[in-house]
C-alpha cells in the first residue's frame, strides 16, 4: 500500500513516530558529540601526559647517561667496550694505562694494545666470547703502553649488545705493581732457598709457642728423618727434638730471646734423633718481627757439634791422663830423689870407708862392711827393678797372664811364711 492510500490518521501516527525517531537521533547525536568531546579531551590529556612523560624520560635518560658517564670516567678500573675489533668506548684510566689520547685510541685495532706473547690468547678468547662460547671471564695478560713499557692487567669480560651488534664489555685492573712485587718476592724466595740449600747448617723457624713452622732439608736429615718427610715435623713442638735434660734451659733462653733479655749468642743443647739416639748441637737464634715491631716467630740456625764434643771429651780425657802421668812422673822423681839417693848415700859411705880405711880394719869389720854393702846394692837393685816394672805397668807393656791356684796352696804358703 502506497502513501496515497494512507489515511490522515495513519499519516499523523507515522509522522509522530518519525518525530520521536528524530528526537532519539538528536539525543544520540548529542550524546555522541558529548562522548567525542570527552574522548577528545581525554586524548588531549593523554597526549599532554605522554609528552610530559617523554620529556621526563628524556630528562632521566640524560641524567642517567650523565651519571653513567661520570661513573665510568671516575672508575679506578679501565672500562672498555670492544666492537668490530676497535675500542668504541673507553674511560680516562684506559687512556692512562695505554698512553694514547681519546682520539688515537679509537683508531687502533684492539689487538695492537696487547703484548705479542699474549696477543693470540686474548684475541682467541675475544672471538669465542662473541660467538657465545663458554670461556673464562677472568684472566691476566700484558698491555703495551705507547711509550713501549709493559703493564700487567687483570681483566673481567662479558658479552653485551652494543647498538644492535655483539660486543664485549671489559673491566681491566692494573696489577703491574703487584706483579713486580710478586717477582721480587719470588726472587727473594729463590735467594732464601739458595741460602738454605748452600748453608752447611740446618735452618728452621718456630712460632713463639715453640711450634715448628719451617725446616730445611739439612735440619731434617740432621735429626734422622728423610727429606720428603717434612710433614712429620712441621707443627710439632721444638721440645720433641731436645733432650728433656735441656728443656728448662731451652725454655728460659726462648723467654729471654723474645723479651729481648738474651742477645744472639750460641747455646749448646743435647738433641734427639728419630731413633731416640742423642747428639750435640749448638743453636744461634733470632726473633723475627712484623711491620709494627711485634715478635712473630723465631729463626734459628742449628749445627751438629757431636764430633767436636767427642773431640773435646777425648782431649779432656787425654789431659786427665797427661795430668795423671805428670803426677806419677813427679812421684817417680820423688822416689828417685829420696830412695835412690839414700841407697847411693849408703854405698858411698861404705865404699868410702873401705877405700880410705880398709888397711886399718880387721877382717871381721871388713866382712861387716862388705855384708852391709851387699845388702845396700841388693836393695838398690830391687828398687830399680820395681821402678822398671812400674814404668812398664804404666806403659801397659806388662801382659796379664792369669793362673789357676788352689786356696789351700795359698793358705799353706801364707801359713808357712808366718
- Cα separation of 269 and 285, whole Å? 13
- Per the structure block, which three cell numbers stand in for 30? 548529542
- Cα separation of 202 and 208, whole Å? 19
Neighbours of 32 (CB within 10 A): 11
Asked if residue 28 has pLDDT above 80, the reply is: no
Average pLDDT along the chain = 80
- Per the structure block, which three cell numbers stand in for 61? 635518560
Neighbours of 205 (CB within 10 A): 17
pLDDT digits (tens, 9 = 90+) for 30-43: 777 777 777 777 77
- Per the structure block, which three cell numbers stand in for 326? 805428670
Is residue 230 a contact partner of residue 215, using CB atoms and an 8 Å limit? yes
State the chain's maximal CA–CA distance in angstroms: 232
Alpha helices in 260-362 (DSSP H): 306-335, 341-357
- Per the structure block, which three cell numbers stand in for 391? 814404668
Q: For a pLDDT cut of 70, what percent of the chain falls above it? A: 81
Q: Where residue 64 falls among pLDDT bands split at 50, 70, 90?
A: very low
Q: Where residue 122 falls among pLDDT bands split at 50, 70, 90?
A: very high
How remote is the C-alpha of 24 from its chain's centroid? 103
Backbone φ, ψ for residue 406 (5° rounding): -90, 140
**Enclosing H/E stretch for 115:** none
SS3 label, residue 207:
strand
pLDDT digits (tens, 9 = 90+) for 311-346: 888 888 888 878 877 777 777 667 666 666 777 777
How remote is the C-alpha of 363 from its chain's centroid? 105
Asked if residue 67 has pLDDT above 60, the reply is: no
Is residue 283 a contact partner of residue 301, using CB atoms and an 8 Å limit? yes
Neighbours of 349 (CB within 10 A): 14
- Per the structure block, which three cell numbers stand in for 403? 793362673
Is residue 235 a contact partner of residue 211, using CB atoms and an 8 Å limit? yes
**Which residues, 6+ apart, have CB-to-CB distance to 73 below 8 Å?**
91, 92
Residues 99, 101, 104, 108, CA torsion sign: positive
Is residue 312 a contact partner of residue 320, using CB atoms and an 8 Å limit? no
Alpha carbon separation from 219 to 191, 249, 267, 308 (Å, rounded)? 18, 21, 17, 18
Is residue 347 a contact partner of residue 376, using CB atoms and an 8 Å limit? yes
Q: What is the dihedral of CA 122, 125, 129, 131, to 10 degrees?
A: 120
Alpha carbon separation from 246 to 223, 242, 252, 285 (Å, rounded)? 16, 7, 10, 16
pLDDT digits (tens, 9 = 90+) for 367-418: 877 787 778 778 778 877 877 777 777 666 666 677 777 767 666 655 544 4
Amino acid at each position: 500500500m502506497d502513501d496515497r492510500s494512507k489515511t490522515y490518521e495513519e499519516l499523523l501516527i507515522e509522522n509522530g513516530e518519525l518525530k520521536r525517531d528524530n528526537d532519539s537521533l538528536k539525543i544520540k547525536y548529542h550524546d555522541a558529540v558529548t562522548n567525542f568531546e570527552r574522548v577528545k579531551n581525554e586524548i588531549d590529556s593523554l597526549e599532554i601526559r605522554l609528552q610530559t612523560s617523554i620529556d621526563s624520560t628524556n630528562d632521566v635518560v640524560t641524567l642517567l647517561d650523565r651519571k653513567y658517564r661520570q661513573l665510568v670516567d671516575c672508575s679506578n678500573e679501565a672500562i672498555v667496550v670492544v666492537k668490530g675489533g676497535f675500542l668504541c668506548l673507553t674511560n680516562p684510566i684506559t687512556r692512562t694505562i695505554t698512553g694514547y689520547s681519546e682520539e688515537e685510541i679509537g683508531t687502533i685495532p684492539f689487538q695492537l694494545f696487547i703484548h705479542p706473547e699474549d696477543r693470540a690468547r686474548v684475541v682467541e678468547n675475544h672471538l669465542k666470547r662473541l660467538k657465545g662460547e663458554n670461556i673464562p671471564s677472568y684472566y691476566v695478560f700484558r698491555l703495551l703502553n705507547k711509550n713501549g713499557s709493559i703493564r700487567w692487567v687483570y681483566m673481567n669480560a662479558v658479552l653485551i649488545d652494543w647498538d644492535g651488534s655483539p660486543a664485549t664489555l671489559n673491566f681491566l685492573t692494573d696489577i703491574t705493581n703487584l706483579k713486580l712485587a710478586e717477582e721480587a718476592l719470588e726472587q727473594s724466595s729463590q735467594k732464601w732457598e739458595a741460602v738454605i740449600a748452600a748453608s752447611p747448617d740446618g735452618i728452621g723457624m718456630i712460632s713463639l709457642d715453640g711450634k715448628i713452622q719451617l725446616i730445611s732439608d739439612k735440619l731434617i736429615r740432621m735429626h734422622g728423618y728423610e727429606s720428603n718427610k717434612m710433614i712429620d715435623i712441621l707443627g710439632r713442638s721444638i721440645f720433641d727434638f731436645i733432650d728433656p735434660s735441656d728443656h728448662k734451659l731451652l725454655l728460659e733462653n726462648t723467654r729471654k730471646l723474645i723479651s729481648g733479655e738474651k742477645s744472639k749468642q750460641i747455646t749448646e743443647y743435647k738433641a734427639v734423633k728419630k731413633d731416640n739416639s742423642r747428639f750435640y748441637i749448638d743453636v744461634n737464634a733470632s726473633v723475627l718481627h712484623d711491620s709494627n715491631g711485634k715478635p712473630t716467630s723465631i729463626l734459628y740456625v742449628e749445627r751438629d757439634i757431636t764430633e767436636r764434643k767427642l773431640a773435646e771429651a777425648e782431649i779432656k780425657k787425654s789431659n786427665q791422663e797427661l795430668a795423671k802421668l805428670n803426677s806419677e812422673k813427679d812421684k817417680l822423681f820423688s822416689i828417685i830423689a829420696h830412695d835412690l839417693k839414700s841407697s847411693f848415700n849408703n854405698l858411698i859411705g861404705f865404699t868410702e870407708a873401705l877405700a880410705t880405711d880398709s888397711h886399718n880394719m880387721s877382717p871381721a869389720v871388713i866382712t861387716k862392711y862388705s855384708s852391709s854393702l851387699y845388702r845396700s846394692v841388693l836393695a838398690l837393685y830391687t828398687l830399680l827393678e820395681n821402678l822398671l816394672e812400674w814404668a812398664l805397668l804404666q806403659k801397659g807393656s806388662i801382659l796379664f797372664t792369669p793362673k789357676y791356684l788352689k786356696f789351700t796352696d795359698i793358705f799353706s804358703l801364707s801359713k808357712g811364711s808366718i
